Amino acid sequence: MTILIDVGNTAIKWQLRESEQTIDTGRGDVSQLMVWLESLGSLPSQQVAVSCVRDDEFAGELHDALVQLGCSSAVFAKSSATYAGITNAYANPSSLGVDRWLAVLALKSRGYESGIVIDVGTACTIDVLEDNHHVGGFILPGPKLACDALVSNTDKIRYSTEPPAALEPGTDTGACVVSGAWLTIVGAVKEIALRYPHCPVFLAGGAAPTLLHLGVDGELVTDLVFDGLYFWLNGA
């Protein structure tokens, strides 16, 4: 059995896998994660791998909590210069967000040597893999973050209800803000896809279905970070 933990900016997700088959999965905060882990039993005998994008202090506290539960062999994934034939574009490879690196590795684990990964959550991250070379990426505010930034940094951009995602011109302030946020992301995604026409597009993250609804051509994928984390732990 393998326990996989994905610590994002706003939530923690976890999976239990036997070989590559998902046996159980969940989402919540640290306390909920600990309750789930305790329910498994026999923790010392299980592999535990963690992807964590929060700061080192949080990662250290999580590591200590895992050890106290008996997960003494827990390992935290790190971005590296190369892995399984994939090269990292960053001059300082370890500074690439580990979730982004694992998503790229997940493409390799699924049999792709090229692809564009778009992950839309708190931030919108876009990474390009071309012939096993991570050529770099882009980071944009996610739609909610972009809208919140406008409201918090201006005096008169205000709206009380959240308009639906759209790309058409808005006819009130809220609609203008939301359309502007989504148009920025959709425009960026389509421009990058045009630059790399031979790279299939993969859409991940909580807002990925909205991108499909707004006309982005790509494949909706789930568990990319988990797949990459499992590959990192057990791969080449």
Q: What is d(CA 80, CA 87) in angstroms, rounded to the nearest whole number? A: 8
- Mean pLDDT by groups of 10 residues along the chain of 236 residues: 92 91 94 92 85 94 92 93 97 97 96 97 95 97 95 92 94 96 97 97 95 96 94 84
Amino acid at 211: L
Planar angle of CA 22, 24, 29, nearest 5 degrees: 125
Is residue 99 part of the annotated active site? The answer reads yes
In DSSP terms, which residues pair with 136 in a beta bridge? 128
3 state SS for 75-94: EECCCCCEECCEECCCCCHH
Amino acid at 43: L
CA Rg value for the chain: 19
pLDDT of amino acid 96: 97
pLDDT of amino acid 90: 98
Alpha carbon distances (Å) from 224 to 41, 64, 98, 218, 230:
27, 26, 12, 15, 10
Pairing of strands 2-7, 115-120: unpaired
Closest among 141, 122, 156, 132 to 188, alpha carbons compared: 141
CATH topology of domain 92-231: Nucleotidyltransferase; domain 5 (3.30.420)
Q: Which two tokens stand for residue 89?
A: 């574009």
Residue 205 falls in which region: left (phi positive, over 0), alpha (psi -120 to 50) or beta: left
φ/ψ of residue 2, rounded to 5: -130, 130
pLDDT of amino acid 77: 97
Question: Residues 6, 55, 99, 217: which is the catalytic one?
Answer: 99
Q: Which two tokens stand for residue 136?
A: 């770099």
pTM value is 0.93
3-state secondary structure of 49: strand
φ/ψ of residue 87, rounded to 5: -105, 145
CATH of 2-76, one of 2.60.40.10, 3.40.190.10, 3.30.420.40, 3.40.50.720: 3.30.420.40
CATH 3.30.420.40 residue window(s) in the chain: 2-76, 92-231
pLDDT of amino acid 136: 97
pLDDT digits (tens, 9 = 90+) for 81-128: 999 999 999 999 999 999 999 999 999 999 999 999 999 988 999 999
